[in-house]
């Protein structure tokens, strides 16, 4: 425990300690700390080039341009949905792998889009002006209004300029300490170029997930298209095929999804007592249902696979996050840091307006704990776990909100968001009814359990049905699996929704009033007071600590620094790389320890000492999957795909001694393309400008 | 939170507060408190008669004799296994109900036995003498030796006396403050006489479990046999068919299974951080697997039903226990009480030997947290969740231990335990291979996940198999579903085990060395120091508080007192009884809200104001299921079958304002037997001595 306590106190009290900690925005990189520790000075050109080559996969990952014609390197697990959606019962590319032998064979990822950050604007002062003097119950709506207006103005302006139009997205940093507009160039047309077999991409499967040593070729190659042609991407990265050596500095550029390092004790308490147990129980059961469903036929297995992988990964993450929350040392460390900041605030009359912030947040958290379960079931839609319900809810809500002024809509249905929504509605992503019924029946049953059979909405939804009967009726009688039906409803607006007899539309419409009421209560009694409190705390923190902190992760562009490094596990040194040969020794021939035939056949041609995976002490988190790992020269020395098991507690604090990132070594990528797959043309394109 | 804090502080600081709290041994009932609060004096005759009529169902419940010829009243859910084992694919008595029209039709419960407590002996001094001066690592073996010897001597002596032979069982009370021998008359031949349909017995199913209002006829009637004839049971209870009125005193006699009200902070910390999350995640997934399996065919549903009901009930219990553990107020209350006792010990030189106890327990808990997961998987057998593995492990271990002196064996294989083991081995309880494979595949897969694919035992067990392939091979190639095969192996002893090629026997044999090593380490480094520490704390507690405490529940005979009473839920009064008519209104026609046809047909003959279920503030817990709820005159005014949702935190503390027991009202039992089922003969037997 003391180990964590020390590390955490260091982390909480001074976030700019000497540890390789932090997910830094590109406008505020810790240049001095990097120079002091690694003797490397990152100049603006380096940062600009890396920023321009790093892409955000809107599905939740990172990638990087690796050729001048839009090739994108990312993880296999980041492309798994796309691969599955392009597969059919007889032709499963997750199982068999895929290589487009020419550009015509590159397969469209129906639901994917990628974005490159091309500009940022600090709008903190504008938000502050628009919300000054408002009560906590009004502040959410006022802030939404000003930010929606700013987004809209930014997009309209960008359409008239060279390089436009851009997507402009609001962003909250430092828990409300700063508000920004981030401006992206978006590529809506993304295609699959190459994917190895799932068995080598995820060798070791769920048992090995978050473990090291590892031997995964967790890579895929996509290509961004513009106007039906490969995008021109002069800002791309080159490979250093030799990779890094132990001790070499390594930089990771990417989009870490979420961390909670700046939460108050009361907010962490909500996670520990309410959110995590609820989440884990729900998904553990869903995992069991889907695993059992997968055994009923190969088709069931195929259709459930991608979703199941996400659930299994998430369970592992949440479990370890929960372990961190259950560790009394975490609360002791956060409590100590919180007290020290509160003491500093109390001693400084200039910060008097921040003094009540912690208490305000605590009161809001009590409300939140009381309403969290119904909120997640009803407003978040956890009661209706199905793709078709997701469509139905979007259609119902968009129809209603499109009749309102842009600034009064739910954030998901503002003008800036509608293009992505339309892309999603018209995507020809297959829907599998049996799989949908399993998920929906499960979630309906759990809603009834947690909210109780006498809850008014439960009664309204269920009538006299069983969860199975209801799920079957909803899924099998709905037409929403057809993109044309969805687009027709979207185009028809409120009148089409009102006239629709589609049972899923009717369900979503009947749930909506309760859901919106919960949302309103949440915004007024939870989100508003919490945001207001967080802004006040952020203000105090800047005043006390200066501007040398990094913000929590928000799935926006960040830089992390570190070095190739192992760690000590129970007193034993873990070597920071693995070699290919061990994977062959470890294979059992059975999933998830099966080596694909193509690799077995190629074995004699391969150098078994080829480095396979390696570790660094970069501070990264989910969302960084697919991130380029870069040398001082800005060349790719690895492809981030995972962290070790200790890294998961990085949601709450960073322990340099234990937290490690795991990457695919470039030597394995080269070996795969050169000696196992017929990847010569791809390699030529990648290495074209050498 | 303050509500709980206050209640808990009261509970912890002085366990003899005025609340209707406590599960009291019959040798130490709180006569004064009962007389003071309810004006009732329980005399020895009352206690003796109730003790003689209360039976323990060895499967984990309570019952009571209700006729002179061995009729036993208990819950439906306590007989569910027996009912399922007597059912077949075409003849499902859980679905259809069962009524034996004459004694020949009474169906043997293969795995059930009932016991009546007929004598007790305090052996604390003998244990203390045998363990004096030993180190913590030796104390478990020494205590096992003396207690095994005492049990054996008691049984041998009882065989020579009138009313013998008896079963003599060791018992630890007050966490080691007292050691006892409890002497039971056991009935190994128990038969099913009557069970209503599951749909009315468990009306509302899992959604309503632990809820109130309720409308469940959760009853069944068994009969104890001796030498093939109905047992003679002159000590039986009579019904007061009118039941109790609000405010009337109610006593519950039964066998509460387990509470943890005397644990130290360090022990609770183990439950909160390690045991509960592990347990809940595991069983939530198993629930999902079994629910999904149940949908594959009516036979799958039938074979999984009883097991699934137990899991769903347990999940609900554990979830609420976990909520209690996550409530900071619990740790504050227990910590405060612990500190106050430690301060008292520090101030009293006579208690100096107790001063280090808390620290010793804390050190042992750290070891326990580190080894808990492998221990549960390997030594507890959670990795091999299957009935056949249970048989195999018993056979392998019994063969080895029967060659050892009685006092050196594992407690489960001492002479006193062998008859029950043999009954279990020869019971013709059906084994369902598909169902077994689901459980075993699941548990193997989770062992591999939690212990890691490179764990030596995991490698040994798995080889190159998948969990599914391994589970199928083990279950389908094993002969242990056949009682004759089991008995032959048991009779053949170690030689038969060594010669057996049964894959389940071979698995159990290959696991045994690792399992025994874990057990040894646990006894020496965890159990020994903890027991030693608990004994010291118990000594201190007796010295400081006097002898007016009650011990934690241990599935032995206890008395609780209280009154028929509702409670306030979110400011609303909950009426302490329900009426039959509401069940008909609430029925949807679909499980679990389906009313059986027999009841629908009888509806016009029924008085819809008949009281159905009711609540009291008795302090009971799982194991009390089936307990008689008694009036001051010692007549049955209810049949305990559940607690409200708040009662689950009773594992750690008792809150009189919220915790309620739920019982079946006698009026519903009478109505059922008289007007719905053809139960006149049964009623005549029950009322024979009126």
Q: Give B-chain residues touching A322 at CB under 8 angstroms.
A: 277
Strand-pair partners of A579: A611
Domain count, chain B: 3
- Closest CB to B319 among A269, A281, A465: A281
Same domain, A373 and A474: yes
Distance of CA B183 to the CA centre of its chain: 19
Residue B7 has pLDDT above 50, yes or no: no
Q: Tell me the count of A-B CB pairs closer than 8 A.
A: 117
Q: At what angle do helices B357-374 and B503-522 cross, to 10 degrees?
A: 160
Q: Give A-chain residues touching B292 at CB under 8 angstroms.
A: 288-290, 292-293, 438
Residue A15 has pLDDT above 60, yes or no: no
pLDDT value, residue A398:
98
Mean pLDDT of A481-495: 97
**A257-293 pLDDT, tens per residue?**
999 999 999 999 999 999 999 999 999 999 999 999 9
DSSP, residue by residue, B314-376: HHHHHHHHHHHHH-HHHHHHHHHHHHHHHHHHHT-GGGGGGTTHHHHHHHHHHHHHHHHHHII
Q: Give A-chain residues touching B572 at CB under 8 angstroms.
A: none
pLDDT value, residue B108:
96
Q: Are B258 and B623 in contact (CB under 8 A)?
A: yes
**B660-675 pLDDT, tens per residue?**
999 999 999 999 999 9
Same domain, B165 and B203: no
- Closest CB to B590 among A290, A322, A466: A466
Q: Which of B132, B165, B187 is the last residue of a domain?
A: B187
Domain presence at residue A148:
yes
**A132-185 pLDDT, tens per residue?**
988 878 888 899 999 999 999 999 999 998 877 999 999 999 988 999 999 999
Q: Give B-chain residues touching A273 at CB under 8 angstroms.
A: 323, 326-327
In terms of DSSP H, where are the helices of A39-135? Answer: 44-53, 76-85, 93-96, 124-131
Q: Are A268 and A331 in contact (CB under 8 A)?
A: yes
- Tell me which DSSP letter residue B553 carries: P
Q: Give A-chain residues touching B211 at CB under 8 angstroms.
A: 452
Residue A9 has pLDDT above 50, yes or no: no
User: Which pLDDT band holds residue B19 (cuts at 50, 70, 90)?
Assistant: confident
Q: Give B-chain residues touching A272 at CB under 8 angstroms.
A: 326
Q: Give B-chain residues touching A588 at CB under 8 angstroms.
A: 462-465
Task: Give the burial class of A672: count Cβ atoms within 10 A of its Cβ; 0-12 exposed, 13-18 middle, 19 or more buried.
Answer: buried
Q: Give A-chain residues touching B285 at CB under 8 angstroms.
A: 284-285, 287-288, 291
User: Which pLDDT band holds residue B489 (cuts at 50, 70, 90)?
Assistant: very high
Separation CA A643–CA A59 (nearest Å): 19
Please, which residues 17-36 of chain A have a Cβ atom closer than 8 Å to chain B?
A: none
- Which has the closest alpha carbon to B437: B394, B396, B467, B480? B467
Range of the domain at B444: 265-543
CA-nearest residue to A591 within chain B is B466
Same domain, B528 and B630: no
Q: Look up residue B536 and give its two tokens.
A: 């010291």
**B92-112 pLDDT, tens per residue?**
999 999 999 999 999 999 989
Of A450-464, B135-149, B431-445, least confident by mean pLDDT is: B135-149
Please, which residues 113-152 of chain B have a Cβ atom closer than 8 Å to chain A?
A: none
User: Which pLDDT band holds residue A228 (cuts at 50, 70, 90)?
Assistant: very high
Give the rounded percent of residues in chain B with a pLDDT score beyond 70: 97
**A407-416 pLDDT, tens per residue?**
899 989 999 8
Q: Tell whether B464 is within 8 A of chain A (Cβ).
A: yes
Best interface-test mutation with B: which of A209, A283, A285, A470 has the largest number of B CBs within 10 A?
A285
Same domain, B419 and B322: yes
User: Which pLDDT band holds residue A561 (cuts at 50, 70, 90)?
Assistant: very high
- Which has the closest alpha carbon to A617: A244, A75, A78, A239? A244
Shortest Cα distance, chain B CAs vs residue A637, angstroms: 29
Q: Give A-chain residues touching B582 at CB under 8 angstroms.
A: none
In terms of DSSP H, where are the helices of B180-297? Answer: 198-201, 205-208, 265-270, 276-294
CB contact under 8 Å between B590 and A469, yes or no, is yes
Q: Give A-chain residues touching B293 at CB under 8 angstroms.
A: 292
- Closest CB to B284 among A273, A285, A591: A285
Residue B250 has pLDDT above 90, yes or no: yes
Same domain, A636 and A673: yes
pLDDT value, residue A547:
65
Q: Give A-chain residues touching B286 at CB under 8 angstroms.
A: 288
Would you call B49 helix, strand, or coil by DSSP?
helix
Best interface-test mutation with A: which of B291, B578, B585 has the largest number of A CBs within 10 A?
B291
Q: What are phi and psi of A653, to 5 degrees?
A: -165, 165
Bridge pairing between strands A628-630 and A249-254: antiparallel
Residue B367 has pLDDT above 80, yes or no: yes
Q: Tell whether A466 is within 8 A of chain B (Cβ).
A: yes
**A359-399 pLDDT, tens per residue?**
999 999 999 999 999 999 999 999 999 999 999 999 999 99
Please, which residues 418-457 of chain A have a Cβ atom closer than 8 Å to chain B?
A: 438, 442, 448-449, 452-453
Same domain, B401 and B531: yes
CB contact under 8 Å between A272 and B206, yes or no, is no
Q: Look up residue B621 and give its two tokens.
A: 């817990």
| Biggest distance spanned by C-alpha atoms of chain A | 74
User: Which pLDDT band holds residue A674 (cuts at 50, 70, 90)?
Assistant: very high
| Cα angle B427-B433-B435, degrees, rounded to a multiple of 5 | 100
Please, which residues 359-378 of chain A have a Cβ atom closer than 8 Å to chain B?
A: none
Same domain, B443 and B522: yes
pTM score, two decimals? 0.87
Number of neighbouring beta carbons within 10 Å of residue B102: 7
CB contact under 8 Å between A291 and B289, yes or no, is yes
Same domain, A236 and A314: no
Q: How far is the CA of A99 from the CAs of A200, A638, A681, B16, in angstroms?
A: 15, 21, 11, 76
Same domain, A254 and A287: no
Would you call B236 helix, strand, or coil by DSSP?
coil
- CA end-to-end span of chain B, whole Å? 50
Shortest Cα distance, chain A CAs vs residue B87, angstroms: 25
Q: Give A-chain residues touching B593 at CB under 8 angstroms.
A: 453
Domain presence at residue A175:
yes
CB contact under 8 Å between B590 and A465, yes or no, is yes
CB contact under 8 Å between A207 and B466, yes or no, is no
| Cα angle A5-A9-A12, degrees, rounded to a multiple of 5 | 135
User: Which pLDDT band holds residue B547 (cuts at 50, 70, 90)?
Assistant: low
Of A10-14, A201-205, A598-602, B488-492, least confident by mean pLDDT is: A10-14
Three-state secondary structure readout of B254-274: ECCCCCCCCCCHHHHHHHHHH
Shortest Cα distance, chain A CAs vs residue B444, angstroms: 12
Q: Give A-chain residues touching B289 at CB under 8 angstroms.
A: 288-289, 291-292
Q: How far is the CA of A187 from the CAs of A110, B30, B101, B263, in angstroms?
A: 12, 77, 77, 60
- Closest CB to A288 among B206, B287, B326: B287
Please, which residues 319-348 of chain A have a Cβ atom closer than 8 Å to chain B?
A: 319, 322-323, 326-328
Residue A16 has pLDDT above 50, yes or no: no
Strand-pair partners of A642: A662
DSSP, residue by residue, A554-600: -SS-EEEEEEB--EEETTEEEPSEEEHHHHHHH--SSTTS---HHHH
Q: Tell whether B284 is within 8 A of chain A (Cβ).
A: yes
Residue B449 has pLDDT above 60, yes or no: yes
Same domain, B559 and B668: yes
Q: Are A595 and A583 in contact (CB under 8 A)?
A: yes
Q: Are A146 and A127 in contact (CB under 8 A)?
A: yes
CB contact under 8 Å between B287 and A285, yes or no, is yes
CB contact under 8 Å between A292 and B438, yes or no, is yes
Q: Domain containing B571 — which CATH number? A: 2.40.10.120
Would you call B303 helix, strand, or coil by DSSP?
helix
DSSP, residue by residue, A306-375: HHHHHHHHHHHHHHHHHHHHH-HHHHHHHHHHHHHHHHHHHT-GGGGGGTTHHHHHHHHHHHHHHHHHHI
Higher-confidence residue of B192 and B176: namely B192
Q: Is the dihedral of CA B291, B292, B295, B299 positive or negative?
A: negative
Q: Give B-chain residues touching A453 at CB under 8 angstroms.
A: 204, 207-208, 593
- Closest CB to A281 among B284, B291, B464: B284
Please, which residues 164-223 of chain B have a Cβ atom closer than 8 Å to chain A?
A: 204, 206-208, 211
Q: Which of A500, A525, A543 is the last residue of a domain?
A: A543
The length of chain B in residues reads: 690
Same domain, A271 and A228: no
Same domain, B180 and B193: no
User: Which pLDDT band holds residue A2 (cuts at 50, 70, 90)?
Assistant: very low
Instruction: Round the CA-based radius of gyration of chain B to a whole number and report it.
Output: 25
Q: Which of A524, A543, A562 is the last residue of a domain?
A: A543
CB contact under 8 Å between A319 and B281, yes or no, is yes
State chain B's mean pLDDT as an integer.
93
Please, which residues 584-603 of chain B have a Cβ atom closer than 8 Å to chain A?
A: 588-591, 593
User: Which pLDDT band holds residue B9 (cuts at 50, 70, 90)?
Assistant: very low
């Amino acid at each position: 425990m003391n180990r964590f306590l020390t590390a955490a106190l260091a982390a909480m009290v001074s976030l700019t300690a000497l540890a390789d900690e932090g997910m830094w925005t590109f406008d505020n990189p810790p240049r001095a700390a990097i120079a002091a520790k690694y003797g490397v000075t990152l100049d603006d050109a380096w940062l600009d080039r890396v920023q321009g080559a790093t892409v955000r996969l809107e599905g939740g990952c990172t990638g990087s341009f690796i050729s001048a014609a839009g090739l994108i390197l990312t993880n296999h697990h980041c492309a798994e949905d796309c691969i599955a959606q392009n597969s059919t019962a007889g032709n499963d590319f997750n199982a068999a792998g895929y290589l487009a032998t020419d550009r015509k064979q590159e397969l469209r990822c129906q639901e994917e889009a990628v974005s490159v950050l091309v500009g940022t604007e600090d709008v903190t002062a504008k938000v502050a002006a628009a919300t000054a003097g408002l009560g906590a119950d009004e502040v959410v709506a006022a802030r939404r209004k000003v930010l929606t207006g700013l987004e809209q103005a930014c997009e309209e302006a960008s359409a008239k300029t060279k390089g436009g139009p851009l997507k402009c997205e609001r962003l909250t940093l430092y828990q409300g300490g700063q508000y920004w507009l981030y401006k992206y160039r978006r590529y809506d047309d993304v295609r699959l170029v190459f994917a190895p077999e799932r068995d080598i991409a995820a060798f070791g499967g769920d048992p090995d997930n978050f473990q090291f040593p590892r031997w995964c070729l967790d890579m895929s190659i996509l290509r961004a298209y513009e106007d039906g042609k490969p995008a021109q991407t002069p800002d791309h990265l080159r490979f250093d095929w030799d990779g890094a050596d132990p001790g070499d500095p390594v930089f990771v550029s990417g989009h870490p999804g979420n961390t909670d390092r700046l939460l108050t004790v009361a907010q962490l308490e909500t996670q520990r007592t309410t959110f995590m147990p609820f989440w884990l129980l729900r998904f553990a059961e869903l995992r069991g249902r889907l695993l059992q469903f997968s055994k009923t036929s190969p088709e069931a297995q195929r259709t459930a696979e991608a979703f199941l992988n996400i659930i299994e990964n998430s369970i592992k993450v949440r479990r370890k996050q929960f372990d961190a929350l259950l560790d009394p040392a975490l609360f002791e460390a956060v409590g100590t840091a919180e007290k020290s900041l509160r003491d500093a605030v109390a001693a400084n009359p200039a910060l008097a307006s921040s003094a009540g912030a912690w208490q305000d947040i605590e009161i809001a958290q009590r409300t939140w704990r009381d309403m969290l379960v119904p909120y997640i079931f009803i407003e978040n839609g956890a009661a209706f776990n199905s793709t078709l319900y997701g469509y139905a809810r979007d259609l119902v809500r968009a129809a209603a909100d499109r009749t309102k002024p842009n600034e009064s809509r739910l954030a998901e249905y503002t003008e800036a968001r509608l293009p992505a929504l339309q892309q999603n509605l018209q995507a020809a992503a297959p829907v599998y009814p049996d799989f949908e019924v399993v998920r929906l029946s499960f979630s309906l049953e759990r809603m009834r359990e947690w909210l109780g059979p006498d809850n008014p909405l439960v009664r309204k939804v269920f009538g006299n049905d069983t969860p199975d009967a209801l799920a079957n009726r909803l899924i099998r009688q709905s037409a929403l699996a057809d993109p044309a039906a969805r687009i027709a409803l979207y185009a028809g607006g409120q009148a089409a929704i009102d006239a629709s007899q589609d049972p899923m539309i009717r369900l979503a419409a009947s749930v909506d009033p309760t859901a919106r009421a919960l949302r309103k209560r949440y915004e007024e009694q939870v989100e508003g007071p919490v945001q207001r409190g967080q802004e006040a705390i952020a203000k105090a923190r800047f005043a006390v600590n200066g501007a040398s902190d990094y913000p929590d992760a928000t799935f926006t562009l960040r830089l992390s620094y570190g070095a190739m490094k192992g760690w000590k596990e129970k007193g034993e040194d873990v070597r920071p790389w693995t070699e290919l040969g061990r994977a062959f020794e470890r294979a059992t021939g059975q999933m998830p320890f099966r080596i694909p035939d193509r690799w077995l056949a190629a074995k004699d041609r391969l150098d078994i000492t080829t480095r396979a995976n390696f570790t660094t002490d970069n501070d990264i988190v989910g969302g960084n999957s697919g991130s380029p790992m870069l040398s001082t020269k800005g060349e790719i020395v690895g492809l981030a795909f995972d962290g070790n098991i200790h890294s998961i507690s990085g949601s709450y604090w960073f322990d340099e001694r234990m937290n490690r990132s795991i990457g695919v070594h470039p030597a394995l990528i080269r070996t795969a393309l050169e000696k196992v797959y017929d990847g010569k043309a791809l390699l030529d394109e990648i290495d074209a400008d050498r």
